[in-house]
């Protein structure tokens, strides 16, 4: 499929799924997504089929490394949530593939973020709390991504009052979803990232995309 290309490398008249399947570069995908407003960008992500996410994960392997500031910008006050809208690759109906990951920076700890999962299944499986840190400290994680959403760890401090109670991921039904799991993150564009889930040290073949909503 042919697309017109601008001087910046963006493809006009394009669709995210069509672009990736047609062999667009990561730079072209990023330029396309960066040119959209939040709602249109989120709609593009939510139209992507499950088969696209492994391709996009591989395409993002050489992207610029992520930092925690990407997920919660320095301009956002400590303990103030930034919402990342998610779309996963699980083989379930579309309503169940939508979720959110609110994240915040704990005051005095710029080296880590904390957050939880908002999903249609939350009342059943629990909040799925996590800490979000860098991966440089663990050599075996080299190449997976520069940051990791780590469900082995949960906040050991107060969280925003509107958030659910913090519970370990080894407790209740959420142990079947979050326990012993880590999500490694790669950059796609200025607002979009893609993650791959690992159980202990093994890839699960499950992916998800996040779209940051700027405050």
- Could you tell me how many helices (H) and strands (E) the chain has, helices first? 7, 10
The answer to whether the CB of 192 falls within 8 A of the CB of 33 is yes
Residue 13 has what pLDDT? Answer: 52
80: left (phi over 0), alpha (psi -120 to 50) or beta: beta
What does the alpha-carbon distance between residue 14 and residue 163 come to, in Å, rounded to a whole number? Answer: 38
DSSP for 23-83, please give it: T--HHHHHHHHHTS-HHHHHHHHHT--TTHHHHHHHHGGGSPPP-HHHHS-TTSPTT--EE
Q: Counting beta carbons within 10 angstroms of the beta carbon of residue 5, is it exposed (0 to 12), middle (13 to 18) or buried (19 or more)? A: middle
Which residue ranges make up each domain of the chain? 65-212
What does the alpha-carbon distance between residue 204 and residue 176 come to, in Å, rounded to a whole number? Answer: 13
pLDDT digits (tens, 9 = 90+) for 18-46: 999 999 999 999 999 999 999 999 999 99
Residue 147 has what pLDDT? Answer: 97
pLDDT digits (tens, 9 = 90+) for 196-214: 999 988 999 999 999 999 9
Alpha-carbon distances, residue 121 vs 93, 97, 161, 204 (angstroms): 12, 10, 21, 20
* Alpha-carbon dihedral sign for residues 27, 29, 35, 37: negative
96 pLDDT above the threshold of 90: no
5 pLDDT above the threshold of 60: no
pTM of the predicted model as reported, rounded to 2 decimal places: 0.91
Among 3.40.1800, 2.40.160, 2.30.110, 1.10.3470, name the CATH number for the domain at 65-212.
2.40.160
Confidence of residue 110 (pLDDT cuts 50, 70, 90): confident
- Section 44-60 average pLDDT: 96
């Amino acid at each position: 499929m042919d697309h017109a290309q601008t001087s910046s490398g963006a493809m006009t008249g394009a669709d995210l799924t069509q672009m990736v399947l047609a062999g667009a570069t990561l730079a072209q995908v990023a330029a396309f997504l960066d040119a959209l407003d939040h709602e249109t960008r989120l709609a593009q992500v939510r139209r992507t089929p499950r088969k696209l996410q492994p391709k996009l994960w591989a395409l993002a392997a050489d992207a610029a490394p992520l930092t925690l500031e990407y997920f919660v910008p320095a301009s956002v006050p400590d303990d103030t949530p930034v919402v990342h809208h998610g779309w996963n690759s699980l083989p379930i109906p579309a309503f169940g593939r939508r979720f959110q990951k609110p994240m915040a920076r704990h005051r005095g700890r710029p080296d880590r973020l904390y957050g939880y999962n908002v999903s249609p299944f939350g009342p059943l499986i629990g909040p799925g709390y996590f800490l979000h840190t860098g991966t440089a400290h663990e050599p075996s994680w080299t190449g997976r991504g520069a940051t990791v959403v780590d469900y082995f760890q949960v906040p050991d401090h107060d969280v925003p009052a509107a958030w659910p109670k913090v519970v370990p991921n080894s407790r209740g039904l959420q142990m079947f979803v979050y326990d012993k799991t880590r999500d490694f993150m790669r950059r796609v564009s200025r607002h979009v990232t893609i993650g791959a889930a690992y159980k202990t040290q093994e890839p699960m073949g499950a992916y998800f995309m996040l779209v940051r909503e700027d405050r």
